[in-house]
Amino acid sequence: MRDEHSVLGVIPAPSGRSKADLRYSTELSRWFLAPIGIWPPKSDAHIIEKIISELLVFLSCFLICFQLVPCLLHVFIKEQNPKRKMKMIGPLSFSFISISKYLFMIVRKQQIYYCLEHIDVDWRRVAHLDDREIMLMKAKLGRFVAWLCAAFMYGGALFFHTVIPFAARSAVTPDNITLRPLVYTIYDPLFSAQTTPSYEIVFTIQCVSGFVVCSVTTGACSLAAVFVLHICGQLTIVRSRLDTFVRGRKDENKNVERRMAEIIELHLRALRFAIRIEGILTEVCFIELVGCTMNICFLGYYFMTEFDQNLASGPITYCILLVSFAFNIFIFCYIGETLTQQEDKVGRAAYMIDWYELPPKTARDLILLLAMTKNSINITAGKMAELSLQTFGGVLRTAAGYLNLLRTLMM
């Protein structure tokens, strides 16, 4: 492995501190992704642990399909009322988007494991207290983002799967059959979900599948935040090394060439990690971008229709979900913008050092670093759109435009 013979030295063995730091930075993502089988087991994990992970993947796919397929059949085969059909398309689109993201994350599971190994090595290599403080600060920000995402997503899902069905009134058919409300309508010829205990079983399974769907969205968001903010931490360390490059740190005794080699390798290592993260997240980000645009549009429509009916539970639930989806896409765009800004700051730091105090050969080596920072790194959505705050504004404008069209056609 190339890292073992780098100028940064041989990779130290895991210590108690490095294990605690790694656990602190990735703990929340593991909580969200392990129950759905996406969190990769270690290479030396017991075979039972690997089998359980694969079983969780199968179970999660089954639960999402149980939520998606019967309702899909009902909407496109049985339901004839356009407004009721539109009311069901929004939750269906969210489930379809979630299983699409889930499948892409399953395919990238091994790459996620390599990224976690990369972060583990970075924590083990921390030699200076200042560097560790920088990494811990970024890890703390990643945890905060994960907590916020989980609070909005699980909170909205809890309201949607409990308040909405319980607030809805049971309907009675002309055949004197009582139809009890479900979160996702079931196609009757497939199986009956209105008799006891079928209704209770189906309702419980739909709530569990809602937890899986929310875990996919929350896990993807938290994983992106952890990975990208870790890169930002490494780039911040590169910038701090550049700030002390000419005279060196007070606690180190290295010549200028050695310090330059360390800066170049740290920068290249961060760039390689960013390229790998881009490969893992690009499809997920594209699905999230398109999905959030659609969901914000649908939720705005549902909010207006429920508000017109003077029902308090519906607008509150849809408002929470609306904020949740807007926050999710904002996080993806925010971390993309932060990554690009950090790379620009590295370039400015390299430009602003007192290069005239350096030996001529070492000063010329800075040209390479400056040239590399000109090609800014970023996270894209399907290689088509860079994730930035400008993209977030575009998503909101597009969702508002589609909402206006939908309101004109349906209301």
How far apart are alpha carbons 87 and 142 in whole angstroms?
35
Alpha carbon distance 256, 247 (integer Å): 8
* pTM attached to this predicted model: 0.88
What are the percentages of helix, strand and coil residues in the chain, rounded to 5?
A: 75, 0, 20
DSSP, collapsed to helix, strand or coil, labels residue 6 as coil
Task: Please spell the DSSP secondary structure of 63-89, one letter per residue.
Answer: HHHHHHHHHHHIIIII---HHHHHHHH
Give the C-alpha distances (Å, rounded to integers) separating 279 from 199, 216, 290, 303, 352.
Answer: 43, 18, 18, 36, 32
Which class for 85: exposed (0-12), middle (13-18), buried (19 or more C-beta within 10 A)? middle
Can you tell me whether residue 180 is helix, strand or coil? coil
Identity of residue 111: Q
Q: For residues 388 and 379, give the distance between their C-alpha atoms in angstroms, rounded to a whole number.
A: 9
B/e letters for 375-407, b = 16+ CB within 10 Å, e = fewer, are eebebbbeeebbbbeebbeebeebbeebbeebe
Residue 163, number of CB atoms within 10 A of its CB: 16
The count of domains in the chain is 1
- The full DSSP string for 254-314 is --HHHHHHHHHHHHHHHHHHHHHHHHHHHHHHHHHHHHHHHHHHHHHHHHHHHHHTT-SHH
What pLDDT does residue 4 have? Answer: 46
Terminal CA-CA length for the chain: 62
Residue 137 sits in which domain range?
2-410
Rg (CA), the chain: 25
pLDDT in single tens digits along all 411 residues of the chain: 444 456 666 777 878 888 899 999 999 999 999 999 999 887 777 788 889 989 999 999 999 988 888 888 888 888 777 778 888 888 888 888 989 999 999 999 999 999 999 999 999 988 788 889 999 999 999 999 999 989 888 888 888 887 777 766 666 555 655 667 777 888 777 777 777 787 888 888 888 998 999 999 999 999 999 999 999 999 999 888 888 776 665 555 567 778 788 888 888 899 899 999 998 999 999 999 998 888 888 888 888 877 656 556 667 778 888 888 888 899 999 999 999 888 888 888 878 877 777 777 777 777 777 777 777 778 888 888 888 889 898 888 888 888 888 777 766
Please name the residues in contact with 140: beta carbons below 8 A apart, sequence gap of 6 or more. none
Secondary structure element (H or E) that encloses residue 156, with its range? helix 129-158
Total residues found in the chain within this entry = 411
Predicted local confidence at residue 1, as pLDDT:
43
> Count H helices, E strands: the chain?
11, 4
Pairwise CA distance, residues 200 & 203, whole Å: 5
